[in-house]
Amino acid sequence: MNSAKKIEKLLTQALLHDGEMDDGLYEYELAGQKENMRRSLITDQDDYIFAITENAGFVAMLLLEANGAAYINEQARERLKTLWPAPAYDSNLKQLIPSIARDLHRGSIPLNGAKVVR
């Protein structure tokens, strides 16, 4: 298992430096989370929810919107960039990545729901 610091570096590369994400890891760890994420999205009345995972040096991401749209890996990252226009995307992820890395290191995939400020 990677240390939290190593996971943090991998997440930073994938999310802030447009690094490659892994479809196999998405299928292995996130595809099965879709229904739980949809329930959380509805229960919390969020506009979107996303999850990021790391395993064996690979990173994967899933983003779901309240309208039913689903985005995987690089498409999820690009959609999050439109939901959090610059400089918010970099700023928000720089704050979130350390806690996501700690959760992943502990064996938990954190779900991050958000509401759009209107």
pLDDT tens-place string over residues 60-78: 999 999 999 999 999 999 9
Residue 116 in this model has a pLDDT that exceeds 90:
no
pLDDT band of residue 2 (cuts 50, 70, 90) is: confident
Residue 118 pLDDT: 72
User: At residue 98, what are phi and psi to the nearest 5 degrees?
Assistant: -60, -40
- Averaged over 1-26, what is the pLDDT? 96
| Rounded distance between C-alpha atoms, residue 17 and residue 99, angstroms | 19
Sheet holding 58-65, edge to edge: 70-72, 58-65, 48-55, 111-114
State the pTM of this model. Answer: 0.96
| Rounded distance between C-alpha atoms, residue 21 and residue 19, angstroms | 7
In angstroms, the Cα distances linking 94 to 17, 65, 91, 107 are: 12, 22, 5, 21
Residue 32 pLDDT: 94
Residue 17 in this model has a pLDDT that exceeds 80:
yes
Give me the numbers of helices (H) and strands (E) for the chain, helices first please: 5, 4
Residue 1 in this model has a pLDDT that exceeds 80:
no
pLDDT tens-place string over residues 21-72: 999 999 999 999 999 999 999 999 999 999 999 999 999 999 999 999 999 9
